[in-house]
Amino acid sequence: MKRLLDLADLGREEVLALLELARRLETRPEPHALAGKILGLLFLNPSLRTLASFQAGMARLGGNSFVITPGQGTWQLETRLGAVMSGAAAEHVREGIPVLASYCDALGLRAFADGKDLAADLAETSFNAMASLVDKPLINLESATSHPCQALADWKTMDDLGVPRGGRFVLSWAYHPRALPLAVPATAVHMAALRGMEVIVLRPEGFALPPPVMEKARRAAALSGGSVRETAERDDALSGAHIVYAKEWGATSCYGDAAADGRLRGELGHWCVRNDWFARAAEDCRLMHCLPVRRNVAVADEVLDSPRSIVQREAYNRLTVQMAVLYRMLKGI
Ligand code: CP
């Protein structure tokens, strides 16, 4: 494996093999497997889990890592092509990224959506331009529309807990005071479809996932025996659900227009996941969220603090699946 930029870079069989490797490394640790290897981590946006789990995973495999968060002890980086750099950024990614890549054996890059032009974000224009500067193995730590490591962790979490392969997976929009990117919802529907699940996207009007995102998930479902549909009807979606995957994202009907998005979401404060959402769900229906989550805004305490919530296990599995990715990438087996 040379690059992990999107879950679609891996076939279903490759995902299953990676998850098997993750389980093997969990039960039979290999603390010297990556001795002498260095992972560089470049975060253009904040992180808790991704940053800490990659550093911990590299250390647990005997390797080392360094983290760059531009503007926090290192130069601010300019990402715009053709920019006249008379502002705060002292260095352009066109120099900065190849320099960092030259110091390490693999590089991880986090660069969220610009959030202005939906077509450009769906095409991963900005992330791909930066990825083209890297001549080493590269891991997407979350881009405009993709978060493959989160998807692998979520898949393994469902396997760990015996969530049925063909179970009902409801990706539900959840309230947040402002528009958040599409990376996690887009990757979650693709992941669940590839796992063979009955995927339902539950969202208010104006927040439909973009057609290319739904099409990609439907293609994955066709390969795996799953299905994908969307609805705004909560009872319809949640009836018999095995998973409610809560996630906040921006209005796609007015993408990039913060004022219009704000008017739409202003009426949607009741899209906070509460216990009564589970009234008609499967008895052992679980609550998933990639974290961070705003308590009592996106998901209520009563759900996050209940046995339904598996958010901690998802976060833990970031470590296990990323160790498998690093092992494949840097050991080559
Ligand atoms: N889920 C996730 O990627 O968390 P962080 O943003 O904290 O890395």
pLDDT of residue 332: 83
Closest to 251 measured CA to CA, from 271, 278, 234, 221: 271
Asked if residue 270 and residue 195 are part of one domain, the reply reads yes
Question: What CA–CA distance (Å, rounded) separates 236 from 172?
Answer: 12
Q: Is residue 234 part of a domain?
A: yes
Asked if residue 325 and residue 295 are part of one domain, the reply reads no
Asked if residue 220 and residue 91 are part of one domain, the reply reads no
Q: Is residue 151 part of a domain?
A: no
Most ligand 1 atoms within 8 A of CB, residue of 154, 290, 312, 319 to mutate: 290
Q: Is residue 157 part of a domain?
A: no
Ligand 1 mean position to 118 CA, how many Å? 22
Q: How confident is the prediction along the chain (333 residues), in pLDDT tens digits per residue?
A: 999 999 999 999 999 999 999 999 999 999 999 999 999 999 999 999 999 999 999 999 999 999 999 999 999 999 999 999 999 999 999 999 999 999 999 999 999 999 999 999 999 999 999 999 999 999 999 999 999 999 999 999 999 999 999 999 999 999 999 999 999 999 999 999 999 999 999 999 999 999 999 999 999 999 999 999 999 999 999 999 999 999 999 999 999 999 999 999 999 999 999 999 999 999 999 999 999 999 999 999 999 999 999 999 999 999 999 999 999 999 987
Asked if residue 286 and residue 178 are part of one domain, the reply reads yes
Most ligand 1 atoms within 8 A of CB, residue of 41, 47, 147 to mutate: 47
Q: Is residue 231 part of a domain?
A: yes
- Residue 150 in contact with ligand 1 by CB distance below 6 A: yes
Asked if residue 220 and residue 96 are part of one domain, the reply reads no
- Residue 49 in contact with ligand 1 by CB distance below 6 A: yes
Q: Is residue 154 part of a domain?
A: no
Asked if residue 188 and residue 247 are part of one domain, the reply reads yes
Q: Is residue 91 part of a domain?
A: yes
Asked if residue 113 and residue 60 are part of one domain, the reply reads yes
Asked if residue 302 and residue 168 are part of one domain, the reply reads yes
Instruction: Look at the chain and report how many structural domains it folds into.
Output: 2
Q: Is residue 210 part of a domain?
A: yes
Nearest-atom number in ligand 1 for the CA of 45 is 6
Structure-token match 């253009």, residue found? 44
Asked if residue 302 and residue 170 are part of one domain, the reply reads yes
- Residue 320 in contact with ligand 1 by CB distance below 6 A: no
User: Which residues lie closer than 8 Å to 213 by C-beta, 6 or more apart?
Assistant: 122, 145, 182, 185, 186, 189, 190
Q: What is the DSSP string of 162-191?
A: T--TT-EEEEEE---SS---SHHHHHHHHH
Asked if residue 110 and residue 177 are part of one domain, the reply reads no
Asked if residue 171 and residue 135 are part of one domain, the reply reads no
Q: Domain containing 207 — which CATH number?
A: 3.40.50.1370
Residue-number span of the structural domain to which 42 is assigned = 3-146+317-330
Q: Residue 187 half-sphere exposure, CB side, CA atoms within 13 Å?
A: 28
- Residue 220 in contact with ligand 1 by CB distance below 6 A: no
- Residue 290 in contact with ligand 1 by CB distance below 6 A: yes
Question: What CA–CA distance (Å, rounded) separates 67 from 189?
Answer: 30
